[in-house]
Chain A
Amino acid sequence: MKAVYFASVRERIGKSEEVVSPPPGVITAGDLVAWLAGLGETYAHAFDNPKIIRVAIDRHHVKHDALIAGAREIAFFPPMTGG
């Protein structure tokens, strides 16, 4: 699946998107955040406060307990500040 990052998450990881292949035990959006946080120092920094991280699956907001099976694009970003 494609992971895309925005704002502070993008800056901290140092890229805006990449293809990721999480292991079978990663089932929910929250699992994926925890797994990404373990990929290295930049990821740990990007996800140092996992509770505030927002997730969108195929461009729809989801909660951390949402299942990621079948997702093509999963986005990770801080709370939004538009408007």
Chain B
Amino acid sequence: MTTTIRIQAGDFDAAAEARKLTDGRRDIGAVVTFAGLCRDEGGSLAALELEHYPQMAEEEIARVAARARARWPLAGVTVIHRHGKVAPGAQIVLVVTASAHRTAAFEAAEFLMDYLKTRAPFWKKEHRADGSEGGWVEARDADDRAAERWAD
């Protein structure tokens, strides 16, 4: 079981990260790769700036990954989250889950994303296309509800 967690400013290669989980293995039947991208919000957004709590971000994602591993039979988990300025169209977050069967891989990937949204200490600030500061993105109740559905 491989768990990789990285917080980084730079971009990532989703396909390469997925291959790292499956290289040399013959027991994995399913790999789910989820990438979250920055939207331009109808052309109004110039960039998102992601602030994070160093150390806690890695540790909290590791705790969430441990919960996923306890819940589903996973062969591998990779989570990469970027910080700093991200332009529309660019990738922000990557979750890769690998398992023998697809249900575990799909469910674990959703679980990881739902929990990342509500527990990983990251905050998005908007920079508007017109040059003004757009302020902090508000947390969405829908994200809280999405995480709550996994409560055991």
Among A59, A60, A82, the residue within 8 A (CB) of B124 is A82
A63 to chain B, nearest CB (A): 13
**How many of B's residues come within 8 Å of A, CB to CB?**
28
Among B56, B117, B125, B136, the residue within 8 A (CB) of A83 is B117
Among A8, A10, A82, the residue within 8 A (CB) of B121 is A82
A61 on the B face (CB < 8 A): yes
Chain B residues with CB under 8 A of A83: 36, 81, 92-93, 113, 116-117, 120, 122, 143
A53 on the B face (CB < 8 A): no
Classify the secondary structure of B's interface with A: mixed
- A42-64 residues with Cβ-Cβ distance < 8 A to B are 56, 59-61
A59 to B122, CA, bound (A): 13
Residue in chain A with minimal CB distance to B92: A83
Interface bin, chain A = 10 to 19
B7 to chain A, nearest CB (A): 10
A81 to B123, CA, bound (A): 5
Q: Which of A18-26, A27-35, A71-79 binds B?
A: A71-79
Interface residues of B (CB under 8 A from A): 36, 50-53, 55-56, 59-60, 81, 92-93, 113, 116-125, 136-139, 143
Interface residues of A (CB under 8 A from B): 4, 6-8, 10, 56, 59-61, 75, 77-83
